[in-house]
Structure 1
């Protein structure tokens, strides 16, 4: 018995299986970087060996939230900033699912910043894609947590007085075990990084630079980019936290100085995921919780019974 009968099925997977029949053509603005995220994800999932029935895409609010409307898989469109707690619950209930969460820089680093920090700290086994275009797009061009200092917008007409948030550094210090940055203008690297992120056992954070030609016309289009793994100018150990932290700091400084550095910045393959840690201490069963919904003979446990027993 399986919570989803398709999980574990071995067969050839065509990327077009992920194209929905009802609304196959995305309605993002022409030139939007979000198209690049969708393309890379549709290319990566078959390479990982996942079918639509084995995939769940959880999104927040914003232009990025439309992603699961254009990807034919299990999906959950959450409220603003709340994609991660829903994604965490889905993965805990059914570890066999490939769970991908997605949101914009305002959704993920601002409104959902608390969830981002603690999901990384706990190292939940999922992939988190953040569409980083340095602006609130769907709500028509307000300053976001990653907007550079001095950026003028509807909410900061005289220019932002705040330094931008450093998403890579925040991810590392919070505890993510895979941290990377790619860009919509680099589709081959984006596909490779998403494949690595989904294969990683733990919390994989991908900061995905996506240009917004409608509401952030002053922003660079994130070109030309430099892949830090392919360049002779950058030599650091992605498994060393200190070296990774220094490289991330340089990368985040460089972005607003006209140099776009992308690639893998930190990878920890040895750290157990949250699910593994919970199983190690006996607080999570080996069998997926989701399978209980398919087992007519299962005797349901109620949490209040446990509390009542402790107070008798």
Structure 2
């Protein structure tokens, strides 16, 4: 009887140890939050609305103690009568301790423009951002490629990389992308129409699709790399995130993720892997690494067709504010 009790106690101890080990493994997952298209993805918002959106988004990030970096398209600042308010939305980021990066002046793609035009667009996109960062004794350190397009050919990619390095930039990669930009157009339209049921349906679908994307790339990372690297998640500065990023954060925490800075994420050795991918359809860096090694990714989760259909319907009706 005593031996049986000892055996049961040992089993309980073993089970507890296994649970603790699983918990510790889950805690080792790390992700950096990066947010594109500042001061707001939707340029039709007023400066006042951009400030309201930004305040809500940053308040949640601070409350949840989640670091983030925002990438700026300065062209969106120059609207008559709106300049000060739009710059004010950017100033909120640095005043709240967040970093800003460059997303080119006009969200210019490197595959449909000359390298010289693209480089000039990068430089033009530094003006206000540099000024705001300088107020906090900081400098621009990161650039995010629009559309995740790094060059139409390898020579262009390498020349662009050299140009950026000479100006003191690091490239901000992406490993996770759940297409919040596709959801956000339909969400904005539903929000303007007061359609709360559609807003909720879109949010639920977005969180579900995010889980699918993370499922896929976590497994593919293990198959391809042998482990899960520190991830970099692409988001956009929109009402969907401003009003629901708390739910996204909770979703990722349930998956065992710790939120880290972009600096911390890029200490992972995966970001030093050979990368020769080029093309006109943006790819995550995990896909780029795999393609470079001749391992073509397959079986990615399918984006919900009904969301695309709704977005297209709103766009054609004029209700979707792009």
**TM-score, normalisation: structure 1:** 0.28
**TM-score, normalisation: structure 2:** 0.27
Query: Which fold has the larger relative contact order, with Cα–Cα distance below 8 Å and residues 6 or more apart in sequence?
Result: 2
The structure whose residues are more often strand, as a share, is 1
Query: Greater CA radius of gyration, 1 or 2?
Result: 2
The structure whose residues are more often helix, as a share, is 2
